[in-house]
Structures are given as structure tokens and as C-alpha cells.
Amino acid sequence: MRCDYKDDFKVDYSSGALHITKGSGVEFTVQDSDIPSNVKACLTSAVSRNNCHELRAAAKAFTGSISKAFDVE
């Protein structure tokens, strides 16, 4: 399933990978096996419901978990 949004954010969850782009400056691909199970469940739910709002929320949850991994305390 692929969704394109008005702010140039794009999410594609198919073929065993999550692909996220934002404009021409951000392009990110992660294999299905590297996606946490809670995020994968949300992505799968979005696809089964054909819901782009849900797909975007799941993609943002995943990217948020990455930025948290780099936070230094």
C-alpha cells in the first residue's frame, strides 16, 4: 500500500519493506524483519483497512523510535 500526502510525505508498505520519503531530502527503507512487532501490527492494520491516516501514524511511530535511539542522556 502506498500513500502520498499533501506535505510531500510518502509511505509505501509492501514487498516486505517500509519505504518513507519526504520531499527530495529524505528517503528511508527498512526491511520488514527490522520493524518492531508493535509497529508492524499497526502497519498491517492500516493496509488491511486501506487507511492512509493509520499508515502515516505507524510510519511516524517507527521514525520516532529511531530518533529516540539516538538521544543521549
Q: DSSP secondary-structure letter at 72?
A: -
Residue pLDDT, tens place only, 26-56 = 899 999 999 999 999 999 999 999 999 999 9
Alpha carbons within 13 angstroms on the beta-carbon side of residue 6 total 1
Q: Which three cell numbers stand for residue 14?
A: 509492501
Q: 3: which strand partners?
A: 11
Round to whole Å and give the CA distance between 39 and 42.
Answer: 5
* Pairing assessment for the beta strands 17-22 and 2-4 based on DSSP bridges: unpaired
Against a cut of 0.95, is the pTM above it?
no
Round to whole Å and give the CA distance between 12 and 27.
Answer: 11
* Confidence (pLDDT) at 73: 58
Whether 72 has a pLDDT exceeding 70, the answer reads no
